[in-house]
Amino acid sequence: MQRSRAGTYGSALINVMIDAAGKAGRNLVRNFGEIEALQVSRKGPADFVSEADRRAEKIIFDTLKKARPNFGFVMEERGIIRGADISNRWIVDPLDGTLNFLHGLPHFAVSIALERDGGLYAGVVYEPISDQMFWAEKGRGAHLNSTRLRVSSRCSMDEAIFATGIPFIGREDHEVFLAELKRVMAVSAGVRRFGSAALDLAYVAAGRFEGFWEKGLNSWDVAAGIVLVREAGGMVSDFSGRGRMIENSEVIATNSEIHNELRSFIKG
């Protein structure tokens, strides 16, 4: 399969983001090939995956820094790096779906967003195993490789498939989530848990899911995906219906047809 390359899609800005995501993603694929052997080693794969994560982040940082030297960064591993250009900063997750990667499950992504003047402006989510490059820029629509994306047109909950994230060990909101899940399960065609918020949002933008909800998320988990859903014609909010997804660490994203209905079932 031919790999996505910069210079193929969108504006100069998008091509810079695609270049960085593609380089990091191809590196992750090479590392992913080592996971099976590491699974049976005495040391185990955790340290290797951490190094793969850091290496991917460095590739992204170096590529973006060279192209836009004055932009700031918000990065999962390196934290906040202030730039001379106070209007623009990158929000980067070099490996979304780390636990999948750790267990040899081929469902993970690179996520890069651009925040401009405090608002989310552009986003790229790259699924390197399948070479799917999701990208969007404010006012220019959302795309998968060279194809324009639109959210699903389904407007009935009983026809809709939703994605979510399940709280894991150390989280205290298991009972709250189970109540949310029970209410949505009772009225929908199904609920999926794939383990990558960035890809869940990209799939909403592509019309594969009618909606996605999760809480306890970081900005780098969702920033690029939020741009994708908006530019594909969908709706994104926090659980109260406002636009404070990053501040409140929670998101509901839908095709807009069933946004309020899904939100009501989640809130109970």
Average of pLDDT values for 23-29?
96
Average of pLDDT values for 120-142?
97
Crossing angle of helices 174-185 and 259-267, rounded to 10°: 130
Please count the structural domains in the chain: 2
User: Vertex 184, ends 246 and 105: CA angle to 5°?
Assistant: 65
Residues 19 and 103 in one domain: yes
Domain residues for the domain of 175 are: 157-267
pLDDT at 7: 46
Nearest to 73 by CA among 124, 118, 114, 111: 114
Residues 91-129 as b/e (b if ≥16 CB within 10 A, e otherwise) read bbbbbbbbebbbeebeebbbbbbbbbeeebbbbbbbbbe
pLDDT at 4: 44
pLDDT at 5: 45
| CATH code of the domain in which 136 resides | 3.30.540.10
Whether residue 5 lies inside any domain: the answer is no
Whether residue 1 lies inside any domain: the answer is no
Which of 78-92, 124-138, 162-176 has the lowest average pLDDT? 162-176
- Read off the pTM: 0.92
Pairing assessment for the beta strands 190-192 and 161-164 based on DSSP bridges: parallel
Write out pLDDT tens, residues 202-241: 999 999 999 999 999 999 999 999 999 999 999 999 999 9
